[in-house]
Structure 1
Amino acid sequence: MTATDVWSDLVGQEPVVETLRAAVASAGGDGRSMTHAWLFTGPPGSGRSNAALAFAAGLQCELGGCGQCQSCTTARAGSHPDITVITTEGLSIGVDDIREYVRASSLRPALGRWQLLIVEDADRLTEKAAGALLKAIEEPSKHTVWMLCAPSAEDVMITLRSRSRSVILRTPGTAAIARLLVERDGIEPSMAQAVAAASQGHIGRARGLARDPAARERRKLILSIPASMHDLGDCLRAAAQINEEAQARAKDYCDPQDEKEMENLRAAWGVEERGRRPAGYAGARSTLEKDQDRRRKRMARDAIDGVLLDLLSFCRDVLARQCATGIDLVNADVARDIDEMSQVWTPESTIAAIDAIVECRTALTANAAPLLALERMMMGLRR
C-alpha cells in the first residue's frame, strides 16, 4: 500500500484492504473473489463508507486503485458519474428514493467499467425500501455492484445480508490514527496522539479535534460535568444546557437547508407568494416538512450522543484508575480530574454512572424526549 493510492485512507484495516484488493484483481480476471453485493460493517468512525468508496475507486481504476488517475480522483471527490452514494439526513431511507436508484442501477456505466451504488446507513432503510433493494440484488445487472454500509450485520434485513458478502471493519488503533494525522494532515505529533486517544477510534472526530480549538474546549467542558453534579439543580441545568446546545447546532445547519428546499419545492410547483396553490402541492409540502423535522431531530440526537460518548469515556477512565488496571487513559489531558473522581466515586458508583449513560442512549434511540432522558441520566451522575 503506497501513501497515495485509494487504500491509504483505510487506517488500521489491513485485512479489509487485502480482501478488497483481491476482489478488484479478480473482477478483471476470473471473477472468483468478486460479487455483485457487499455489506460493510463496523463501529462508528471505523470507515465503512470510506472502505466502500475506496473499493468503488479500485474497481473503476485500470490499475486497481492507483489514486492518481481520473477515475480515482473523481471517485475521491465524489464526482464520478458511475459511483452513486445514497445517504439520508433523516431517520430513514424511503422506498420511493430506493426505487429511483434501482432504476438507475440498470443503466450501463457512462464512463467507468461498473455502475456502483453505495448505500450509507443501510440500517435506515424502511422495510419497503429494503424489499425494493432486495429485488435489485437478487436480479443484478451485469455491470452493477451494490455496497451496503451499517454498524452491524444484524442492523440490516436478513434477506439483504444473506445475499451480500460481508466485510467487517475494526476500530482503528490510537497509534494508527495519530500516524495518519501526522503524515497526511501535518498535525503536531503530541497533539495527534492526544486527539487520536480522545476520538476513541473515530478518525473524523480526531481530525476535527485536531483542527478546531473550540471543539477541544467544548470537549473539556463536557468532561467536567461529572464533578459538577452536587444537587438536583446542577443536574437540571446541565441537562438543559446539553439539550439546548444540541438543538442550536441542529437549527444552525437545518434552517438554511429547510429554506432552500422549500424554495425549490415552490419553484417546482410554480407556486407564487399570493397565488393559488396547485393540486397536490399541499401534500408535497407536508411530506417535505415531515422529512425536515426528522432530519432536525436526528441531528440533535446525534449531537447529544456525542456528548454521551465523551462522558462514557470519562467514566471508563475513572474505573480504570479505581481498579488500577494500568491501561492508558482515553482522556489523558484531564488526568487530574479523573484522579479526583476516582477518589470521590466508588467503583460501584462509577459503574452506576456508566449504566445511567447507557440507559440514556437507549432511551434516545427509542425516541424518548431528549431533555427528560438527560435529566434522568444527570441524576445518576451526582457525586
Structure 2
Amino acid sequence: MPDVFADLVGQDEAVDTLRRAAASAAAVLRQAAAAHAAATTGPAEDDDLDALAAEAESEAAEGGGAGDPGAGMTHAWIFTGPPGSGRSVAARAFAAALQCAHGTGCGACQGCHTTLTGTHADVRLVVPEGLSIGVGEMRALVLRAASTPSGGRWQVVIVEDADRLTEAAGNALLKAVEEPPPRTVFMLCAPSTHPEDVSVTIRSRCRVVPLRQPAPEAVAEVLVRRDGVAPEMARWAAAAAQGHVGRARRLARDPEARARRDSVLAVPRRLSGVGAAFDAASALIEAAEAEAGAAVAESDAAERAALQTALGAGGTGRGAAGAMRGSAGQIKDLEKRQKSRATRAQRDALDRALVDLAGFYRDALTMALRAPVAPVHTDTAPLAEAGAQRWNAEGSLRRLEAVLECRTAIEANVKPRIAVEAMMLTLWKG
C-alpha cells in the first residue's frame, strides 16, 4: 500500500519537509515515553508528553539542529499554492503522518486510515460550504482543539480555504495560534501568504509550505495509477485541466464535465455581436447554476429530511405538533446555510468555466507570439490559431486579461451576471 503522501503530485520538496517534520513529531512522543518509562514503570502521562512537545517546539523556533527531536516541527502551518496544487491533500497527508502509529505516514495503520477517511477523533476539518468561515464556527473549533488528544498523539485542526476566514474568525484563530494548546497542530490552506488571503499576524506564527502547479505529466501519471484512466485520456485531461488534479480527474471520468467544457470553449466563435455576447453570458451563468444545483440538491434534501425527523416530523400527539411549531427558526437557519452553499457552488462552477476560457485565449496568445509551448486545449488548437491570426498578440492578451479580470471581480463579490456580461462584451470587441 502506498504511503499517505503518494497522492501529493509533483511536490517533492514539500513532501520531504513534511516527512522530516512528522519524524521529529514522532521522536518527541518516543522520547517522552522512554523518559517516563525510565522514571516509573508505567506508560507516559499526557502531562509528560505536553511538556516535551512544548520543549521541542521551542527548540524548533530557535533553529534547533536536525538531530533535535523538535527540528522541523512546529504547531502551526500554512499550505499555499495555486488551485489544484494539492493544498488540502498535503494537509491531510501530514495529519495522517502525525497520527501514524509508526510515525512515518505508512498509509496502512489505523491512524493513517481514519485520518484520510475523515473519521479520526483527533483530526478536525473545516471545509467552508458558504462564502466565508464565521467566528462562531471558529470559536467552537478552537475550544474543541484545546482538549487532550484521545489517541495519545496529536490534536490536528485543518482549515481548508483559510482565505475565507472573516476578520472576527481570523482573530479567534490568531489567539489560539499565539498560545497553542500542548500537542495541538493547526494547518491552514490558502492560495498565498498575501495579507488578503492570510493576515500578517497569523502568517508570522506559522511555517509556510509552498506548493507548485504540478506538471501535466505528473497529473496524468496519478490518473492512470490511482484512478485507472486510459493513458491517452489521462494525458489529454491533465493538459486541459492545466495541472489541476481534481479538475483533470473530473474531465477524465465525467462525460457531462467534458460536455460543459466543450460548450464553454465554443463561446469565442459565438460572439458575433452585442446580442450574441449577452446570450453567451446568460448561457454561461445558467449552466453554472444548473451544475451547482445538481451538485447540492441531494445533500440539501438529506439535511432537510434529517432535521425534520429530529424535530418530530411524522410523529403524532401534542408534543410532536408543538416541536414542529417551534422549529421554524431552525429550518430557516438551515435554508440560509444551504443558500450560502449553493452560491458558493455556483461561483465554483463558473470559475471552472472561466479557467477553461482563459486557457483558450492563452493558447491564442502563445500562438500569436510563436512561443514554443504546448497548447492547453489541444482539441481547440485550430480555433485558437485562427483567433491568433485575426486578433494578433495584443488582441489575444486583451481578451485573456478580460477573463482574468472577470474572475477577480467575482471574487470581490461583483454580481456574476454583471461581471460575465462585461467580459463577453470585451471578448467581442477586443
Q: Which residue of 1 aligns with 2:358?
A: 312
Instruction: Using the TM superposition, give the Cα deviation of residue 140 of structure 1 relative to its aligned residue in structure 2, in angstroms.
Output: 1.5
Alpha-carbon distance, 1:284 to partner? 4.4
Deviation of 1:266 (Å): 4.8
Matching of residues 196-345 of structure 1 within 5 Å: 196-266=238-308, 277-278=325-326, 283-345=329-391
The amino acid across from 1:166 in the alignment is V
Q: Tell me whether 1:156 sits opposite 2:154 in the alignment.
A: no
Match for residue 423 of structure 2?
377
Q: Distance in 2 between matches of 1:250 and 1:196?
A: 23
- Supply the distance in 2 between the matched residues of 1:143 and 1:338 (Cα, whole angstroms): 54
Bigger mean CA offset, 299-308 vs 185-194: 185-194
Partner letter of residue 62 of structure 1? A
Residue of structure 1 in register with 2:80 after alignment: 41
Structure 2's unaligned 5+ residue stretches are: 28-68, 314-319
Matched, 1:55 2:94: yes
TM-score (norm 1): 0.93
Which residue of 2 is the match for residue 144 of structure 1?
Answer: 184
Question: Which one of 234, 238, 251 corresponds to residue 192 of structure 1?
Answer: 234
Matched residues in 2 for 1:267 and 1:178: separation?
A: 45
The alpha carbon displacement at 1:261 in A equals 3.5
Cα distance in 1, alignment partners of residues 126 and 152 from structure 2: 19
| Structure 2 counterpart SS, 1:240 | helix
Equivalent residue runs for 1:99-118 within 5 Å? 99-118=139-158
Cα shift at 1:25 = 1.1
Displacement of 1:285:
4.4
Higher relative contact order (CA 8 A, sep 6+): 1
SS of the counterpart of 2:208? strand
Give the residue type in structure 2 aligned to 1:40.
F
Structure 1 residue runs of 5 or longer lacking an equivalent are none
Residue in structure 2 matched with residue 80 of structure 1 by the alignment: 120
Q: In the alignment, is the contact (CA less than 8 A) between 2:76 and 2:206 conserved in 1?
A: yes
Return the alpha-carbon distance in structure 1 between the equivalents of residues 123 and 152 of structure 2.
Answer: 9
CA 1:142–1:275 in 2, change beyond 3 Å: closer, same or farther?
Answer: closer
Structure of larger gyration radius = 2
What CA RMSD, in Å, does the superposition of the two structures yield over aligned residues? 2.0
Alignment deviations for residues 200-256 of structure 1 (CA, whole Å, 9 cap, x no partner): 110011111111222223212211211221112211111111111111222223344
Gap change, CA 1:266 and 1:186, over 3 Å in 2: closer
Could you tell me which amino acid in structure 1 is paired with residue 18 of structure 2? L
| Offset at residue 129 of structure 1 (A) | 1.2
Aligned to 2:392: 346
Of 5, 25, 32, which aligns to 2:3?
A: 5
Moved more, 233-242 or 368-377: 368-377
What do the CA deviations read for 1:317-336 (whole angstroms, capped 9, x no partner)?
01111111121111112222
On the 8 A contact 2:311/2:323 being kept in 1, the answer is: no
Contact 2:75 2:184 in 1 (8 A): yes
* Deviation of the 1:152 alpha carbon: 0.8
